[in-house]
Amino acid sequence: MTKIFIQKSEPLRGVVAIGGSKNAVLPLLAATLLTEEPCVLDGVPALKDVEVMCRLLRSFGAEVTEEPEAHRITVRTAVIRTSEAPQDLVRAMRASVVAMGPLLARTGFARVPLPGGCAIGDRPINLHEKGFAALGAEVRTVREEDGVCVEASADRLAGAEMYLDFASVGATENIMMAAALAQGTTIIENPAQEPEIVDLANFLNKMGARIKGAGTDVIKIEGVDCLRGAEHCVIPDRIEAATYMLAAAITHGNVLVDNMLPNHVTPVIAKLRESGVRIREEESGLRVDGGAKNFLATDIKTLPYPGFPTDVQPQFMAFLTIADGASTIMETVFENRFMHIEQLNLMGAGITEEGRRAFLPGGARLHGACVRATDLRCGAALVLAGLAAKGETVVSDVYHIERGYEDLAGKLSGLGAQIRREEEL
């Protein structure tokens, strides 16, 4: 099992370059299924989840060329051999579900095992199904020995108006991709407005789709008969950027977080400034100065974009454990995204929770411990806490981290952190 070992860190210093967005590149890869022509994606991060998505595309019949050192992937799906997603890959990565919309639009059929829950919640796909049904697909739940599948079929999807009960990122992506090839116009009310939605719409429009309003509270899609290949550079990963901003802050360091888009992390900048961290824009990124003074407590409430991102909640919680004074964190997006509290408490954080609220007393004197990454962002939070904890922190189940962070230990080490990754044979 691979583990990460972290010592209490001196203030981090230097420049860290942010990679392409995991949560943008996964739907972009799925979107390449919508055309028989080749597509080229640049700025692709070297992540485990990207490898799984490439295996998934190949399982449908795509030719996928991965050039991780060039951060480039080329996909050509001349013919879709099957519209059934293999269970092992969907189980390995629930984001596989966003292949459903493209498969349905391109072939008239899609069958995906229910991804099932994970550490942070049940992760249902009822809104995805509602969207496909609104577009005229027949949607069925099929119970089998080894699990439950969702099937959707339609001769030709027809544009429709629909409202999303929750601004689901995945559902918005799936519906947008399916509607791109539907007959007529689709209106999505209350869609997700994340930057990753905008990036997907931009790529689809390069392919010949006619999508307006991505990033706002109404998206309009005028269906077309076919889409062509396109080239696209993935937006920077705003969650990775926020993670390194917090690494600089928690160590009172001074770091340039480079190749990022500050307007994608507005709530994180605001909350760090409330805590007394100095942040200023520089040519292609943000200079984060943790300063010498102790941090001030502040309260966090996660919301769909443009609210405070749930994917930064665990990392910000690690930071607030050492702030002066009590903080409250409310998680409104996922029903179980507090698994990191138990792990942070092993390090002396003293956090209590009640439902979707976590209460941090602050002023914690964190100490090293053997802790476990229960999910991707929990793992990142434990690494950040380890930078501020006396003694050695050992994080296990590191594979969660490597799904979404390219070389986290190496990048932190490059900023002066005492951190190493070790494979235990």
Instruction: Return the residue matching tokens 């699990």.
Output: 147
User: Per CB under 6 A, which region of 116-124, 243-251, 292-300, 349-357 contacts ligand EPZ?
Assistant: 116-124
User: Per CB under 6 A, which region of 164-172, 179-187, 254-262, 388-396 contacts ligand EPZ?
Assistant: 164-172
Instruction: State which of residues 6, 34, 41, 95 lies at the interface with ligand EPZ (CB under 6 A).
Output: 95
Determine how β-strand 72-76 pairs with β-strand 392-396.
Answer: unpaired
Is 118 catalytic? The answer is: yes
Minimum distance from residue 128 beta carbon to ligand EPZ (Å): 5
Q: Choose among 369, 308, 370: nearest CA to 337.
A: 308
Site map (CB under 6 A) of ligand EPZ, residues 27-56, x = contact: ------------------------------
Whether the Cβ atoms of residue 279 and residue 256 lie closer than 8 Å to each other: no
Q: Choose among 74, 63, 150, 60: nearest CA to 106.
A: 60
User: Per CB under 6 A, which region of 166-174, 240-248, 270-278, 362-370 contacts ligand EPZ?
Assistant: 166-174
- By the rule CB under 6 A, 411 interacts with ligand EPZ: no
- By the rule CB under 6 A, 251 interacts with ligand EPZ: no
- Alpha-carbon gap, residue 74 to 200, rounded angstroms: 16
Instruction: State which of residues 19, 102, 170, 285 lies at the interface with ligand EPZ (CB under 6 A).
Output: 170
Closest CB to ligand EPZ among 114 and 211? 114
- Per-residue exposure over 25-34, b if at least 16 CB sit within 10 Å of its own CB, e if not: bbbbbbbbbb
Find the angle CA(11)-CA(259)-CA(65) to the nearest 5 degrees.
Answer: 120
- By the rule CB under 6 A, 202 interacts with ligand EPZ: no
Instruction: State which of residues 169, 245, 246, 317 lies at the interface with ligand EPZ (CB under 6 A).
Output: 169
- By the rule CB under 6 A, 214 interacts with ligand EPZ: no
Determine how β-strand 352-354 pairs with β-strand 357-360.
Answer: antiparallel
Rounded to 10 degrees, the C-alpha dihedral 409/410/412/417 comes to 90
- Active-site pick, 39, 118, 149, 370: 118
The residue number whose beta carbon is nearest to ligand EPZ equals: 170
Minimum distance from residue 356 beta carbon to ligand EPZ (Å): 11
Site map (CB under 6 A) of ligand EPZ, residues 289-318, x = contact: ---------------------xx-------
Closest CB to ligand EPZ among 9 and 313? 313
**What does each C-alpha distance from 294 to 8, 50, 195, 363, 364 come to in angstroms?**
16, 39, 33, 9, 12
Closest CB to ligand EPZ among 10 and 335? 335
Site map (CB under 6 A) of ligand EPZ, residues 253-282, x = contact: ------------------------------
Closest CB to ligand EPZ among 122 and 282? 122
**What does each C-alpha distance from 19 to 286, 288, 380 come to in angstroms?**
15, 18, 16
User: Per CB under 6 A, which region of 123-131, 210-218, 227-235, 251-259 contacts ligand EPZ?
Assistant: 123-131
Sign of CA dihedral 186, 189, 192, 193: positive
Whether the Cβ atoms of residue 320 and residue 329 lie closer than 8 Å to each other: yes
Other beta carbons less than 10 A from residue 76's beta carbon: 18
Instruction: State which of residues 168, 298, 315, 321 lies at the interface with ligand EPZ (CB under 6 A).
Output: 168
Rounded (10°) angle between helices 22-31 and 100-107: 10
Minimum distance from residue 331 beta carbon to ligand EPZ (Å): 10
Closest CB to ligand EPZ among 168 and 374? 168
Minimum distance from residue 226 beta carbon to ligand EPZ (Å): 27
Whether the Cβ atoms of residue 366 and residue 349 lie closer than 8 Å to each other: yes
- By the rule CB under 6 A, 340 interacts with ligand EPZ: no
User: Per CB under 6 A, which region of 121-129, 132-140, 175-183, 268-276 contacts ligand EPZ?
Assistant: 121-129
Closest CB to ligand EPZ among 170 and 253? 170
124 Cβ contact list (under 8 Å, min separation 6): none
- Alpha-carbon gap, residue 296 to 311, rounded angstroms: 22
- By the rule CB under 6 A, 127 interacts with ligand EPZ: yes
- Site residues for ligand EPZ, window 350-409 (CB under 6 A)? 376-377, 404
Backbone angles phi, psi at 33, to 5 degrees: -70, -15
Find the angle CA(195)-CA(337)-CA(260) to the nearest 5 degrees.
Answer: 30
Which residues are 220's β-sheet partners? 187, 212
Active centre residues (catalytic): 118
Contact residues toward ligand EPZ (CB under 6 A) are 22-23, 26, 95, 121-128, 166, 168-171, 192, 310-311, 333-334, 376-377, 404
